[in-house]
Structure 1
Amino acid sequence: MAVNVSQSSPGNLQAQVSGSTVPGGAIGSAPPIAVSWEARTTQRSSQTDATVSRPITDKIGRTIIKNGQLRELQQNDTLTLSTTTETTLIAAGGAGVFNDITDLIISNTAVMTGTRVDIKDSTGGTTRFSAWIPPASTIPFSFAGILKQSTANNAWTATLSGAVTDIRITALSEKTA
C-alpha cells in the first residue's frame, strides 16, 4: 500500500491511517497495518535521554521484552575450585563492556567441609558477594536484577575461605555497555 502525503504550509500534519482492524485469525477487507521492529544480534549504541527508541526482536522476529539481554550477549561460565587461590570466573569483557551477573549456582562436593565463596568484580578488587556453602550441597542464587560490575573490562573472580574437595560455580551473566 503506497501513501503520498504533501503539506503546503508548516504546522501539524493530520493524516488518517487505514488498514485491517479485525481480530487475529480473521480475514479482513483491507491489508493489515504493518509495524516494523528492529532485528538485533548485537547491542545497539546507547541513546541520549528523551530520544525515540525502536522496539527490538531477535534475528527470527521474537520480541525482546524482558529484564536482561539479547541471547548473543548472555553467557554461562563455570569454574571448579579446591584451594584458596583467587581464580577468574568470568573473563574481562573488553573495552567499555561490563559483565553483570544475574545468577550463580554453587555446589560443594565435599562431604565434611563447608567453605565461604567470595565473588569479586575485578582481580584483587572489592568483594561483591559472599556465601557460605555447606558440605554436600548445591545452592542457587538469583539476583533481583543483577550483580553489577563496578568497572568495565574487568574479570570476575572467586576465592574460597578454605580448601575443600571441590567447589563448582556456574555464573550466568550479561554483557552491557
Structure 2
Amino acid sequence: MLPVLAAAQAPAVTPDSPLPRLLAERKILTDHYREASAQRHSLFGNKPSKKDLQEVVDALQGIVDKDQQIVNVLNETAQKATSTSARLTATTTKLESTSRDDRNLTAQRLLELENEAQNLRQREKQQLAKQRDLEAEVAEAKQGRFVRDALIAALAVACVGLLLVRRRRN
C-alpha cells in the first residue's frame, strides 16, 4: 500500500525528468532569436540582411524543434500519469473489493457467533430445566424413602408391640 501512496504523491516532474533542461535550452534559443531578430547588417540601412533573416529562421526552427521535444516529454509524462492513474484506480478498486469482502466475512462470522451464543443459551436453559426436574425427582425419591422408612419403623414398632402383647398373654 505504501508504494501506491508514494506513486500518488510523486510530482509530475521528477528529478531525472528532462523537462527542466529542455525549458532552459528553449530559453537560450529564445534569447538567441531576440538577438538575431535585432541584428541589422544590411547595406541599405536599418533592414535585416539575408544572413540576418537566415539566423532568425534558424533560431525559430530551433525553438520549434525544442518545443516539439518539450511536447514529446509532456506527452510521455501524461501517458505515465494516465497509466499510474489507471494502476491507482485498479488498486483502489481491489482494495475496496477486499475491504467489502472483509466486512461481509466479518459480518457473516459475527452472525455465526451470535447464533452459536444463542444456541448455547438455549442449551443452558434446557440443562437448567433438566436439573430442576432431576432435583424434583430426587426430592420425591427422598420423600418416598422417608415415607417408606417411616412405614417400616411403624411396622417394626407394631411388630414389637404385637410380640409384647403376645408374650404377655402367654
TM-score range, shorter chain: under 0.3
Say which structure is richer in helix.
2
Say which structure is richer in strand.
1
Larger-Rg structure: 2
TM-score w.r.t. length of structure 1: 0.18
TM-score w.r.t. length of structure 2: 0.19
